[in-house]
Amino acid sequence: MNATQPRLQDARWRVRPMRSSDLATVMSIEREVYPFPWTQGNFGDSLKAGYDAWVFENASDTIGYAVVMWIPDEVHLLNLSVSAAYQRRGYGRSMLAWLCSDARRRGARSMMLEVRPSNAAAQALYASMGFAQIGLRKRYYPSHGEAREDALVLSRRFGDE
């Protein structure tokens, strides 16, 4: 992670690098918002691998977090989560805007991500932020029973924004 992070454009909260001491809080939110959450090991491995991992917080709470993996001149958004208490208030949009700004500023030409076809709210957010579908990963996500759910692969080029 680069120590010279761009400042948030949202005065309601700030962003900082995730630390291993954040994992209990992150796991609490992860379990709260996903039926098939990442494990603490997934987050710990991301930190050990040097992925960008960010915590978004206000004076009293963790609002959400994100994990981003760099691939030479592209970033792969692996996890973007907003605590249930802060959802539907524009935090996800502000967090995603910050992540895109940070990636672009640091030389990424694009960002890609996967999203469940059943997650209409996330799809609408990504579409409104310039992401478009570039592929489909069959049976990517765990689902109930033995079923698995496909993933829509989305991408946004940064270009001359």
pLDDT in tens, 15-51: 999 999 999 999 999 999 998 999 999 999 999 999 9
Q: What does the angle CA 90 – CA 81 – CA 48 come to, to the nearest 5 degrees?
A: 140
Of 57, 114, 140, 149, the active-site residue reads 114
Judge whether 161 counts as a catalytic residue.
Answer: no
pTM for the whole thing? 0.89
Amino acid at 86: Y
In this structure, are residues 113 and 77 in contact, taking their beta carbons and an 8 Å threshold? yes
pLDDT in tens, 84-117: 999 999 999 999 999 999 999 999 999 999 999 9
Quick one: tokens of 91?
């935090």
Tracing tokens 């959400």 back to the chain, one arrives at 64
In this structure, are residues 126 and 112 in contact, taking their beta carbons and an 8 Å threshold? no
Helices H / strands E in the chain, number of each: 4, 7
pLDDT in tens, 145-161: 888 999 999 999 998 65
How many Cβ atoms from other residues are within 10 Å of residue 27's Cβ? 16
Judge whether 32 counts as a catalytic residue.
Answer: no
Q: Which fold has domain 14-157?
A: Aminopeptidase (3.40.630)
Of 126, 141, 146, 161, the active-site residue reads 126
Distance CA(99)–CA(56), nearest Å, equals 11
Tracing tokens 């987050």 back to the chain, one arrives at 43
Segments making up each domain of the chain, as ranges = 14-157
